[in-house]
Amino acid sequence: MFLWNTRKLSALSSGPLVSSCFHVSQSGMPSMDVKMTESLWFMDLPDLKGLCAVKIILNSGTLQPCIRDAQIKLCRKILFLYDQIVASPDPEHFDQILVIMAICFYKTGKIQAVAEKHATKIESPERVSPTQLEVCLSYTLIARLAPLWNKAGHLLIQGADFLAKPGKQDAVDMQIKVSDTQICICIRVQKVCLPPFKLLDLNVATGTLQHFLNDPSHVIERHFIPSNWCYVLPSMKMGQIISISHSIPLESPFQTYEELRTHWNMLYGYKLPIEPEEKLIFCNVYFKLIGDTLFTYPLSCLRSQPMQFYPRVDMAKLLDAFFSDLKSAMPHLCGFPVLITEKPLFPTRELTRPLSQPEFHLNPKKCRPKQIKEVDVEMHARNNELHKVNNATLQNWLKQHGISTKSRDRKEQLVTEIIRFLQKD
């Protein structure tokens, strides 16, 4: 059962994740000069001495070249087989899965049986660190929240049918931090638009496009696609469309669209739309960082433009919906009751100050501006990671490429300008 902790918020304000970073009013509400876009929720941390972590190692020699898919599928299978565990694929070692559970659950031998059934090796149990729990809890929540909340870039978009929606949609940015004493869930609510891909977005010649739509066997090759850059779900990384067809290429491991729908559901929890066979369109996509291997995507999993952000989000309503689904997705943590704050805390621009420390005031005119960092902006754009680059660096890059900006431009505007410039290359 998901238990709600009735402790006062002021009691939490002394926790290590809050006191040195945030100022919270006595009422638990944010200061008037701060936008209510981010909220902090705290959970009690189970006694880590009662948990253990094990690594499951896949037989990579028999799974190439699909080792990454096999890793994710097995991890998700274990997660949905036993709700007493949290787990995550190792992002650096594609043949490893990290699983965390209560020591008493490990002694049942159920995890060992799963590893043996799939011809994998399981290492000896070890103590659990806060970092390991943070990684596994983040992945587990994202996996179990789908398809009610679906990963798209760094966000979770609400609704199993989000792929087909052309208008604005609700989303959250969820970040989890685990300390030695508690778990902090930071939620930023968003209103976004991720319109479905249209062939017209590729600027294909009218005659070529008409021929393709009238002939099920026709394939549009790379040299007939002037604007071939696209964004692929769920990562929203950029790739180049090499060809467009009505059928799955022969070299693909999938024979039918139904097999492809099952694959996306097993890997990401996505519910691809059911479409008549005559309307299906597939794209072969090339990623420069991966090499010559082409990946086949249904058109519904591609986007022609980055995610668009909008203001005016009903924060209270969206948080209620998200945490209602969260309670169902995670009724307990490795068998331990989950205690979570009844109301959120809100960060402000102020820092808490010890009573013995004298007051001082900063002159805003003397504050140093954000430094321009030496980063590969184009690489960050390809990997959909421009949100990690500060505004000063983005503005400097645009200036170097002859694009004027204003100091008050929001990051979303700067990112959009960079993407438009790169798509013209």
Indicate whether 283 and 402 sit together in one domain.
no
CA nearest to 230, candidates 193, 205, 261, 197? 197
Task: Look at residue 294 and tell me whether its pLDDT is greater than 60.
Answer: yes
Beta bridge partners of 124: none
- Residue 330 CB contacts under 8 Å (≥ 6 apart), including other chains: 2, 140, 141, 144, 338
Across the range 403-408, mean pLDDT stands at 82
Task: Look at residue 192 and tell me whether its pLDDT is greater than 80.
Answer: yes
Indicate whether 180 and 254 sit together in one domain.
no
Indicate whether 81 and 227 sit together in one domain.
no
* pTM, two decimal places: 0.76
Backbone angles phi, psi at 85, to 5 degrees: -125, 165
Indicate whether 74 and 160 sit together in one domain.
yes
Tokens (6 digits) for 371:
């430094």
Indicate whether 98 and 162 sit together in one domain.
yes
- Inter-CA distances, 371 with 21, 64, 117, 375, 387, Å: 22, 44, 53, 12, 16
**What CA–CA distance (Å, rounded) separates 56 from 114?**
10
Indicate whether 17 and 157 sit together in one domain.
yes
Indicate whether 356 and 374 sit together in one domain.
no
Cβ–Cβ under 8 Å, residues 377 and 417: no
Domain count, the chain: 3
Which range (38-42, 364-368, 418-422) has the least confidence?
364-368
State the average pLDDT for the chain: 84
Q: What is the pLDDT of residues 137-151, one digit of tens each?
A: 999 999 999 999 999
Across the range 86-104, mean pLDDT stands at 95
Q: What is the pLDDT of residues 15-70, one digit of tens each?
A: 333 322 333 333 333 333 334 468 999 988 999 999 999 999 998 765 555 888 99
Domain boundary among 360, 383, 399: 360
- The reported pLDDT for the residue numbered 348 is 58
Indicate whether 159 and 99 sit together in one domain.
yes
- Strand 51-57 and strand 121-122: the pairing is antiparallel
Tokens (6 digits) for 234:
């769920």
Indicate whether 209 and 88 sit together in one domain.
no
301: exposed, middle or buried (Cβ count in 10 Å: 0-12, 13-18, 19+): buried
**What CA–CA distance (Å, rounded) separates 171 from 322?**
9
- The reported pLDDT for the residue numbered 222 is 94
**What CA–CA distance (Å, rounded) separates 83 from 211?**
51
- Inter-CA distances, 163 with 188, 356, 425, Å: 21, 55, 28
DSSP line for 248-287: --TTSS--SHHHHHHHHHHHH---PPP--GGG--EEEEE-
Indicate whether 226 and 278 sit together in one domain.
yes
Indicate whether 29 and 163 sit together in one domain.
yes
**What SS3 state is found at 111?**
helix
Tokens (6 digits) for 266:
């097993």
Beta bridge partners of 332: 337
Across the range 109-124, mean pLDDT stands at 95
- The reported pLDDT for the residue numbered 18 is 33
Indicate whether 127 and 5 sit together in one domain.
yes
Q: What is the pLDDT of residues 151-166, one digit of tens each?
A: 999 999 999 999 999 9
Beta bridge partners of 220: 244
Host domain of residue 370:
364-424
